[in-house]
Chains A and B, each alone.
Chain A
Amino acid sequence: MVKRALFALLLLLPAAFASAQQQPAFATNGNAVTIALPASVLQHAAVRKQLGSGLTTTFIVIARSRDRTAEGGARVEVRYDLWDEIYHVRRFEAGRRIDQQRIESLEKLEQWWRTPSRIISLNGQRIVLDVELRVLPFSGAEEEDARRWLSLPDRTTSLVDVLIGTTISAKPIVSFRWSAEVVRR
């Protein structure tokens, strides 16, 4: 009986470990809650593949208080420059760019990735958050560029081209959801 329980524990341990690894780190900074996204997001196969595409991989964090009284978010953009073979990264909080860098390697990108971002205001002592991270395969500017390209005025634009033009939109390639209770320190 004990042997069987130990065996089950051994089986569950890696899953539990992996689950723990994917949890972001929440903290408070003044009147705001910050999030440090886990490196496992960048290591996700679909994300890793997308990072090397040359398109701007866009990470959108949406945070809501459980009681739906507060809402906020952050955005991170990562574009791999295929010519210089470096990563261009930008971080936005509350729609404002607060950080922009050129990063030479994936290891350094993972380090930078852990930098906390402010996602929501903290009014009381504690807050229960539902957080969603959506990974979009390209940025709004790239979407607009492709749409414009399809409907250039100097060539015959069919009805179908117009239809396509209005259909292009970034759908998340992968999403993550977390919940956490954050207490002011």
Chain B
Amino acid sequence: MRRSGAAVTTLLTVAAATLLFWFFLHQISSVWLDVALRPEVRDALEAGMNDQRKLRDLDPQQRAQYRQRFEENRRLVNRIDVIRMSREAMLRRFELALVVVFATSLLAAALVWWLRQRREAERRRREYVERLASWQEAARRHAHEIRTPLTAARLEADRLASIARSGATSEEVDRAVESVFEELDRLSRFTREFSSFAALGEPVLRSEPLDRIVGEFCATFANAWPSIVLRWEPARAPVPVLADRDMLRQVLVNLCTNSAKASAADVTFTVQRDGDRVLLDVRDSGTGIAPSVRPRIFDPYVTTRKIGEGMGLGLAISRKILLDHGGDLTLVETGAQGTMFRLAFVAG
């Protein structure tokens, strides 16, 4: 895609150079030069001179007047002759100038192309380095998430073996076994998070009233995040969108979870129409997203949270869901006053 864009730019630059060349070439047909180089113009002037001479002979009284007209023509003929005699040199100069103009234009096009290539290579390198850093961070988080329950489960298993050998009561054995299961459940939850990202299904799209879904969500999840209050502004009329209700709910949960982690006091939902799209703005009053991660906020494994507090998949999953809906999830603004995401849907 980028390569074809660069090719189009190069083509446009060459076209501009050709246009410049054409414009310059057409300057040659300047009216005065045309007049000067047309043989019929010279012939007409010469005929005029002969006429004045004949008139002088016929009417000697007006000699001065005829002479004046004759001299005017003669001066013009002289100028034309001078220009015509310099024609070869002129043409050479023209050709040289045209070649210089064309070569300069092509050189400029080549320079632009080269600079674009360099910038593209630099961008690719930077992206790779950033991706590498994300992968490193993800590897660290994976190791932590797996190692912690494994270590705990092993300790509990050791303890279970120890108390079994020492003739412990069945209650003590049960507690130890439960503890091992807890750690294994934790591991299981962790792998489920990946499964949900890896095996994200296709949405089943139906015409759903977005304002009503949001209203129900606010009612159902009112106590899910004790630190935040969910608000929504009901639309005047039903706003149907093509959506998978369950997946949409998952997106809203992810956004609210992030808001809660960003110390938001409230989250406000606003629905509005925008042509053939419907927009759902989700605004919180949290601390905002760190500038360092803003450009990559929707990339998987991008998070500012500490290891053990999440894998940074929530927004990646949410955006994937919205894209599968034919819409998009975008970050509209973020800062000390809070963050606003916009969910775009196709009107149903």
Among residues 44 to 84 in chain B, which have CB atoms less than 8 Å away from a CB atom of chain A? Answer: 49, 53, 67, 70-71, 74-75, 77-79, 81-83
Q: Are A150 and B83 in contact (CB under 8 A)?
A: yes
A81 CB, min distance to chain B CBs, angstroms:
9
Whether the Cβ atoms of A82 and B74 lie closer than 8 Å is yes
Alpha-carbon distance A142/B81, docked complex (angstroms): 10
Q: Which of A25-58 contact B (CB under 8 A)?
A: 53-55
- A161 an interface residue at 8 Å Cβ cutoff? yes
Once the chains bind, are B28 and A160 in contact (CB under 8 Å)?
yes
Residue of A with least CB distance to B77: A54
A64 to B216 Cα, complex, angstroms: 109
Inter-subunit contact B85/A137 (CB<8 Å): yes
Comparing B89-97, B276-284, B309-317, the segment that makes contact with chain A is B89-97
Contacts of A137 in B (CB 8 A): 81-82, 85
Chain A proximity of B287: nearest CB distance (Å): 62
Residues of A within 8 A of B74 (CB): 54, 82-83
Which of chain A's residues 143-180 have a Cβ closer than 8 Å to chain B? 143, 145-146, 149-150, 155, 158-161, 163-164, 166-171
Pairwise interchain contact B78-A145, C-beta atoms closer than 8 A: yes
With most chain A CB atoms within 10 A of its CB, the pick from B33, B78, B82 is B82
**Does A138 have its Cβ within 8 Å of any Cβ on chain B?**
yes
With A82-B49, A82-B74, A83-B71 already in contact, the answer to whether A138 and B90 are too (CB < 8 A) is no
A-B contact count (CB 8 A): 81
Consensus secondary structure, chain B interface: helix
Please state if A167 and B33 are interface contacts (CB–CB under 8 Å): no
Residues on B with C-beta less than 8 A from A138 are 78, 81-82, 85
**What is the bound-complex CA distance between A172 and B69, given in angstroms?**
31
Closest Cβ–Cβ distance, residue B195 to chain A (whole Å) = 71
Shortest Cβ distance from A50 into chain B, in angstroms?
A: 9
Is the Cβ of B94 less than 8 Å from the Cβ of A163?
yes
**Complexed CA–CA distance, A54 and B82 (Å):** 11
User: Do B30 and A161 touch (CB < 8 A)?
Assistant: yes
C-alpha spacing A62/B154, complex, angstroms: 111
Per the bound structure, the CA–CA distance linking A161 and B31 in Å amounts to 10
Interface residue B27 (Cβ < 8 Å from any Cβ of A): yes
B81 contacts A167, CB within 8 Å?
A: no
Contact partner of B94 (CB less than 8 A), chosen from A82, A160, A168, is A160
**Docked pose: A159 CA to B93 CA in angstroms:** 12
**B225 interface residue (CB < 8 Å to A):** no
**A99–B21 Cα gap in the complex (Å)?**
52
* A146 in contact with B79 (CB, 8 Å): yes
Quick one: given A82-B49, A83-B67, A167-B93, are A158 and B30 in contact (CB under 8 Å)? yes
Interface residues of B in 22-40 (CB under 8 A from A): 24, 27-28, 30, 32-33, 36
Measured CB to CB, the closest approach of chain B to A165, in angstroms, equals: 10
When C-beta atoms are compared, the residue in chain A nearest to B71 turns out to be: A83
- Is B86 among interface residues, defined by CB-CB distance under 8 A? yes
Residues of A within 8 A of B (CB): 53-55, 82-83, 137-138, 142-143, 145-146, 149-150, 155, 158-161, 163-164, 166-171
Which 4 residue pairs spanning A and B have beta carbons closest together?
Answer: A146-B82, A160-B27, A146-B79, A168-B86
Q: A53-B81, A142-B82, A169-B89 are in contact. List 17 more A-B contacts (CB 8 A).
A: A83-B53, A83-B74, A138-B78, A145-B75, A145-B82, A146-B79, A146-B82, A155-B32, A160-B30, A160-B33, A161-B30, A164-B33, A164-B86, A164-B93, A167-B89, A168-B83, A168-B90
* B residues with CB within 8 A of A: 24, 27-28, 30, 32-33, 36, 49, 53, 67, 70-71, 74-75, 77-79, 81-83, 85-86, 88-90, 93-94, 97
